[in-house]
Structure 1
Amino acid sequence: MKSFLPAVILSFLVFNAGAQQDKTSPVRKITADSLLKLQEVVITGQFEPQSLKKSVYNVRVINSQMIKLRAATDLKTILSTELGIRFSNDPATGISDPQLMGMDGAGIKILLDGVPMADRGTAKESLAQIDVNTIERIEIVEGPMSVMYGTDAMAGVINIITKRITGNQLSVNARLQEESAGTEYSAFNKGGTHNGNLGVNWQNNAWRFGLSATRNNFGGWQGDHTGRAKEWLPKDQWLGTALAGYKMNNLDVWYRFNGTDETLHYLGDIITNNGAPIASDKKYLSKRFFHQAQADLTVNDKLSFNAAASYTDYSRRTQSTNLNLNTGSETLSIDPGSQDKDVFSSTFFRGTALYKLSPSVSLQPGIEYNNNSGKGARIQGDPVINDYSFFISSQIQLNPAIQLRPGLRFLNNSVYDAPPVIPSLNAKVRLNEQLDLRFAYARGFRAPILRELYFIFKDSSHDIVGNENLKAEHSNSFNGSLAWALKSTASVRLSTILSGFYNEFKNRIDIGTDAAVSNSSVYINIGKFKTTGAEWNNTLNIKNVQASLGLSYIGRYNQYSEQPELGDSPSFTWSPELNTNIIYSFPKLDANIGFFYKFTGRYQQYTTSLSSGQNTVILGEVASYHLADLTLNKSVNNFITINAGARNLFDVSRLNTTGTNTDPHSPGGSVAMGYGRSFFLGLTLQWSKN
């Protein structure tokens, strides 16, 4: 490991000294201007692609050049320094679950090209099963999007948009990147993170085809553990993508397959059995097969149609074995519950029409169907949930300065008590050429999922059962923003956005106790929950520099804060955040350097603790922390780019906690955050031929 950082620096300096700028290189150059321009058109929640300034929603964009400069091998790395987003991590399951606007992953909709990703539970494990090498950009919309995207979109949506080639060409992309895990590193396997990708795309007139394969190998991280045990479990992951599409005149049709094969390794303690050392190990085997098809048809200037469909087959299997360390032989465990498999399937369809009644009024009706089913030893029966929706939205340009977007969604569900109507109203007011005001009201909802309705989880550390009588969560949400373009010239662009939000939730689903349902912990609808806060985002582009500075202050409230034993304690608990991104481009050297930093303040939450046989309300806290990455990116010649840098510069691994244990798989007193300061070096090849 000691030689890894000097190798990174030396490699960068060698390529820096020897490379010459080549204006004909197919490798895309990263400049401050290109980073800004790529953010001008957005599609999430829009009737049709339009500029960021014209959008009625306040959309945040992470574009392709920014993703390339981050040199990330997963989405968490890209999103973790975004304002308003924080992750909770479970090294034992390999899941990192995001929070947005003070709400956990259950209220965030993850979309892949506008189509929802399916998950086993409320945690968004699908984020870790999307190939970052295929991503063009990421669009984030904060605030309920339930009219357009249905359940789970209470906090907002994260839409991952994949790459598409343009023009008749054959292109080949390859990537190889090595990264340490703290001080642990072994080349290409075991210690550290090892990423390899190969993609081929071909387009000829109307037809396009693509294939991509990625290997992600993580050797785990031992941390404070001893012996064979790992604090972060080793993981082998293979991601595959196949695409076929046809586009001619007014028709665009395409199909894509995404496959995931993932194995998480748990290395158990060694015990002696009949004189032989035996290790009880586990493998958590996940397989995801995701089929996605979309079609766009433009009939004329006034009428167009869009249809999107997907089918997901997702399984997770636990395989428990006993390994004889003397002989190397491995046998399956016969202990109760040691071999387990759950299978989930999801079918989705959305169809919309866009009709322009006049230049100032557009109408978009749509239908949506969701079918979710599951089976396995931990699922009661073979449940199936059908969800039917009709929604309608309109875009009204009252005058050159005022734009309105009202909408309604009507729901019917086969199992749970769904809110029958979900309304929303968004508005954008152009105060002048530099000032834009946006404000909105929306009712959000989240449907109970199969896991919350029918799941049974009983082992040495869990005793949780589902509740078939759950109701859907719903919320009333208000948000607004003021965007000010202080200066916009060819050489200098300076803008600032001040925004705020308030969300009030009812029937929030959580784990609690209800003797009428079960003596175990059970999923129940609890009382009040609220979030509120403000954000201030600033961006500056001047010559070869792009810089941003963001501040946020987010408050959370639950019903426990009103308990008498707390006295005059504040109802809301608050958490500050600060982030900054600074990117400098060296045009003559064809190189860029990026610094990405975020401070996340302490996270507090009122909760209950069992003491002397009684539940007592306490204020739990997770400590604040700093994250920072430093990355270097340089084009070596016509086809090769080198990436190098350091992640987690502040060497964060665990966060101290008081009065809470948010990670049931880790010892009390701290929660997992990362595996310390790490270094990476990577090469990217991009070749194309017309």
Structure 2
Amino acid sequence: MILNKKLLTLYFSFFSASLLFAQEKVSDTTKIEQLEEVIVTGQYNPQSIKKSVHNVIVIDREKIEKQAANNLADVLNFNLNLNIIPSSQTGQSKVEFFGLDAQYFIVMLDNVQIVNDNGFGNNIDLTQINLDDIERIEIVEGAMGVENGANSVSGVINIITKKTLENDWQIQAFVQEETVRDEYEWFDKGRHIQALSIGHNFNDKWTAKINLNRNDFAGFYNGRKGQNHYTDDGLRGYDWLPKTQLNGKAILNYNTDNFKAFYKFEYFNEDLRYYDATVRPNINVQAQTSNPSSTDRIFTTNRYINNLIVDGKLKSGAVYNATFSYQKQERDLNEFNYYIITKEKSNETDQTYQSSNVFFSKGTINNLTKSDKFNYQLGYETRFIKGFDTQASGDVTQQDKEMKQNNNAVFVSSEINVIDKLLIRPGVRYEYNSMFKSQLLGSLHARYLFNKGYELRGSIGSSYRTPNFEELYYYFVDSNHDVRGNQNLKPERGFSSFLNLKKRSWFNDISMSNNLKFSYIDLKDRIELAVVNTLPLQYQYINIDGYKLIGCSLENSIKKDNWAFNLGATYQGISRIMNNEANAKNDFLYALQLNTSATYFINKWNTAFTLLLKHNGKQQNYIGDGSDNEGNTLFKKYTTNAFTWMDASIKKTFLDKKIDVTLGARNLLDVTTVAIDGASTSGIHSSNNSGLLLGYGRSYYLKLLYNLNF
């Protein structure tokens, strides 16, 4: 904790010095402001970051390319307040945002939420979001309930597709080869990616594009012997399961001055392969032979996305947007008895155990007034969700619990220019849900532009999280267990408040940005698995707990000529409030995050050098540890140790940007398992975990990309 305070002091000193230095030599910013990036998330109309009422974090295409990022998990890991949590056995990577898991924020594609196994927009596997045709990623922190409704408690991530081409024809192909720690072969080890993109401008109005991508992760052996190992010594299979992903996209874009239409079709397929470590020898005594076998599984995911987005301007000047989306995702299980030597299968079964179908539509209209001082937006949103999850409803019953949920909402907000520098945006949303009580959500955002490049933004807002399938329907009962879902659960209620002070400075050929942010999140009626009966012992999901977060962040960037440097820190405290526990510890527990990046470009060589680093400080939490004489749970503190991620890359272009070569390394500090001290317990909430598996170690990659434009 002393080290954390010293690091914070250093960061505050750097921030203060930057502000003082920047005030002295501010130059004309007109030219620079014209180049400022345009954003769309949470805006009435596309506009610059400076004019936005929200504080929006942008990850542009250049940053994605420098990291050779292929999916969303690759690129988000170095952002403050975001933690990527991978699973070696499911192959999924989920994310924590302000200490809350992936159920509390929304991932969108062009402002449309994405269907997945466990939700709609939330709780998505980041490795399943391909970035080949992506122009940029926009992140908005804080509750976005008025704009996006349920599950946007901690924020939204909006992935923006590149819709236009600079040339009549654009053909792009690349291959990317990666080691998995020290494991690599052409086919059976490592990570192998191939992609092809073809785009064409038919005329100044019509554009079409197709993308194909194959991502083959051959698994991580880590001392295990793979699929063909037939000795029953516990070494068969993989430490990280192998999987293959196929992704196909097609877009059609129509663009005129007063009307735009954009259609996107996307197909995603993933095969995840599980090889059981237990080997049955199957000895035939009479023939003196053996035919060893194991029970293996193949998990197959298929996702289809159809999005149609229409934008237009009426003669009155009003601007409208309408979005229509139909999405479907299924997860199938193929289980069989595999004879390892003869490579034959028996007792093969197939089932679809997770399925989601969603129809989604959203529309807005604004610019309904002629006033420069006042504007307002009217909107609707509707979604129809149907799905089931056999796995979540229990391994004993194996019953499909189909869920149908209709959600209809109307919302209104207004932008009021109180004075030239002050903009406020109040908003309200009414949301009807067929399964849960209707919700009334509100928000208030404000932006004030001071002199000398200072920008102040504040926001307060509410959202909520709906219970997931497992919390509603889980059922597992045998002689030793009684764990059940609860169809009477009510949604969790979330409230957030953010205050952001930004300073932009330009002097000579140096540009600087300093950002100081305070955050507060309060979550009520949090759903937890709790003891509802002691004799016999029964567990059930109930609304019992709360969650609070307070935090302070500093983000600083400096750019000069061919180099750029970024330095950031977050210090946040989290309190998990367990109202049903007499001895619960509800104190705020604090943790520190640091990140930095540096890029240097050498014009003569057409070469960029990039270094990324993120430090996650020690994180403390409370865990149940036995009971007192009255049967109340006792708690003790445990600590997840600090760890640091570091990546580096070199990107060089040849032949007038026709060929790009990117060479890099991920996880240079070789992080694998992070130790957890004091987590072993013997009580009701017992845990024997001694480490958190976060990575498979230092790996290297080479990406070769060819661009053909004519």
Tell me if TM exceeds 0.5.
yes
1:644 aligns with 2:663: yes
Match of 1:584 in 2: 600
Match of 1:607 in 2: 623
Superposition map of 1:612-631 within 5 A: 615-631=633-649
CA distance, structure 2, for counterparts of residue 574 and residue 455 of structure 1: 33
Match of 1:233 in 2: 241
Match of 1:332 in 2: 347
Q: 1:405 deviation in Å? A: 0.7
Superposition map of 1:431-510 within 5 A: 431-456=450-475, 464-485=483-504, 487-489=505-507, 491-510=509-528
Match of 1:529 in 2: 547
Match of 2:24 in 1: none
Match of 2:164 in 1: 165
Q: 1:101 deviation in Å? A: 1.6
Match of 1:4 in 2: none
1:657 counterpart (663, 668, 676): 676
2:386 counterpart (373, 383, 390): 373
Secondary structure of 1:588 counterpart:
helix
Superposition map of 1:24-43 within 5 A: 40-43=37-40
1:345 aligns with 2:357: yes
Q: Say whether the 8 Å CA contact 2:673–2:692 is kept in structure 1.
A: yes
Q: 1:309 deviation in Å? A: 1.6
CA distance, structure 2, for counterparts of residue 225 and residue 125 of structure 1: 29
CA distance, structure 1, for counterparts of residue 636 and residue 419 of structure 2: 53
Match of 1:411 in 2: 431
Question: What is the one-letter code of the residue matched to 1:232?
Answer: W
Q: Say whether the 8 Å CA contact 1:560–1:617 is kept in structure 2.
A: no
1:397 aligns with 2:417: yes
Match of 1:300 in 2: 315
Q: 1:350 deviation in Å? A: 0.4
2:103 counterpart (102, 106, 109): 106
Q: 1:52 deviation in Å? A: 0.7
User: Quick check: 316-325 or 545-554, which moved more?
Assistant: 316-325
Q: 1:427 deviation in Å? A: 0.6
TM-score (structure 2 length as normaliser): 0.86
Q: Say whether the 8 Å CA contact 2:430–2:438 is kept in structure 1.
A: no
Q: 1:660 deviation in Å? A: 4.2
Q: 1:168 deviation in Å? A: 5.6
Question: What is the one-letter code of the residue matched to 1:117?
Answer: I
User: Quick check: 142-151 or 113-122, which moved more?
Assistant: 113-122
Q: 1:129 deviation in Å? A: 1.6
Secondary structure of 2:604 counterpart:
coil
Q: 1:301 deviation in Å? A: 6.1
Match of 1:386 in 2: 406
Q: 1:327 deviation in Å? A: 1.3
Q: Say whether the 8 Å CA contact 1:181–1:193 is kept in structure 2.
A: yes
Q: 1:225 deviation in Å? A: 4.7
User: Quick check: 310-319 or 217-226, which moved more?
Assistant: 217-226
Q: 1:429 deviation in Å? A: 1.1
Match of 2:303 in 1: 288
Q: 1:460 deviation in Å? A: 12
Question: What is the one-letter code of the residue matched to 2:236?
Answer: R
Paired-residue identity, %: 30
Q: 1:83 deviation in Å? A: 0.9
Secondary structure of 1:271 counterpart:
coil
Assess, with a 3 A threshold, how the Cα gap between structure 1 residues 376 and 644 changes in structure 2: closer, same or farther: same
In the comparison of the two structures, how many residue pairs are matched? 645
1:596 counterpart (601, 606, 612): 612
Q: 1:403 deviation in Å? A: 0.4
CA deviations over 1:341-391 (Å, ceiling 9, x no partner): 221111111011112421121111100011111135445542201111001
CA distance, structure 2, for counterparts of residue 217 and residue 461 of structure 1: 41
CA distance, structure 2, for counterparts of residue 620 and residue 560 of structure 1: 17
CA distance, structure 2, for counterparts of residue 630 and residue 91 of structure 1: 24
Secondary structure of 1:471 counterpart:
coil
CA distance, structure 1, for counterparts of residue 33 and residue 57 of structure 2: 12
CA deviations over 1:58-80 (Å, ceiling 9, x no partner): 11111111111111122112100
Match of 1:21 in 2: none
User: Quick check: 167-176 or 398-407, which moved more?
Assistant: 167-176
Q: 1:565 deviation in Å? A: 4.7
1:203 counterpart (198, 201, 204): 201
Q: Say whether the 8 Å CA contact 1:298–1:305 is kept in structure 2.
A: yes
Q: Say whether the 8 Å CA contact 1:374–1:450 is kept in structure 2.
A: no
Question: What is the one-letter code of the residue matched to 2:641?
Answer: A
User: Quick check: 78-87 or 323-332, which moved more?
Assistant: 323-332
Name structure 2 gaps, 5 residues minimum: 1-30, 226-234, 284-289, 394-399
CA deviations over 1:596-634 (Å, ceiling 9, x no partner): 000011222223245799743232332211000000100
Q: Say whether the 8 Å CA contact 1:581–1:597 is kept in structure 2.
A: yes
Secondary structure of 1:530 counterpart:
strand
TM-score (structure 1 length as normaliser): 0.88
Q: 1:312 deviation in Å? A: 1.5
Q: 1:431 deviation in Å? A: 2.1
Assess, with a 3 A threshold, how the Cα gap between structure 1 residues 508 and 565 changes in structure 2: closer, same or farther: closer
CA distance, structure 2, for counterparts of residue 177 and residue 530 of structure 1: 42
Q: 1:449 deviation in Å? A: 3.2
CA distance, structure 1, for counterparts of residue 106 and residue 667 of structure 2: 27
Match of 2:4 in 1: none
CA distance, structure 2, for counterparts of residue 151 and residue 142 of structure 1: 15
Question: What is the one-letter code of the residue matched to 1:437?
Answer: L
1:261 aligns with 2:269: yes
CA deviations over 1:449-478 (Å, ceiling 9, x no partner): 344323446799997543211111112211
Name structure 1 gaps, 5 residues minimum: 1-33
Question: What is the one-letter code of the residue matched to 1:673?
Answer: L
Question: What is the one-letter code of the residue matched to 2:614?
Answer: K
Q: Say whether the 8 Å CA contact 1:333–1:339 is kept in structure 2.
A: no
CA distance, structure 1, for counterparts of residue 484 and residue 87 of structure 2: 21
Assess, with a 3 A threshold, how the Cα gap between structure 1 residues 353 and 511 changes in structure 2: closer, same or farther: same
Assess, with a 3 A threshold, how the Cα gap between structure 1 residues 215 and 404 changes in structure 2: closer, same or farther: same
User: Quick check: 116-125 or 294-303, which moved more?
Assistant: 116-125
Secondary structure of 2:367 counterpart:
strand
Q: 1:167 deviation in Å? A: 4.8
CA distance, structure 2, for counterparts of residue 253 and residue 509 of structure 1: 41
CA distance, structure 2, for counterparts of residue 305 and residue 268 of structure 1: 54
1:558 aligns with 2:576: yes
Assess, with a 3 A threshold, how the Cα gap between structure 1 residues 682 and 167 changes in structure 2: closer, same or farther: closer
Match of 2:708 in 1: 687
User: Quick check: 105-114 or 270-279, which moved more?
Assistant: 270-279
User: Quick check: 261-270 or 605-614, which moved more?
Assistant: 605-614
CA distance, structure 1, for counterparts of residue 508 and residue 33 of structure 2: 12
Assess, with a 3 A threshold, how the Cα gap between structure 1 residues 383 and 676 changes in structure 2: closer, same or farther: same
Assess, with a 3 A threshold, how the Cα gap between structure 1 residues 303 and 661 changes in structure 2: closer, same or farther: farther
Assess, with a 3 A threshold, how the Cα gap between structure 1 residues 195 and 459 changes in structure 2: closer, same or farther: farther
User: Quick check: 144-153 or 94-103, which moved more?
Assistant: 94-103
Q: Say whether the 8 Å CA contact 2:518–2:552 is kept in structure 1.
A: yes
Q: 1:105 deviation in Å? A: 0.9
Q: Say whether the 8 Å CA contact 1:439–1:479 is kept in structure 2.
A: yes
Q: Say whether the 8 Å CA contact 2:165–2:207 is kept in structure 1.
A: no
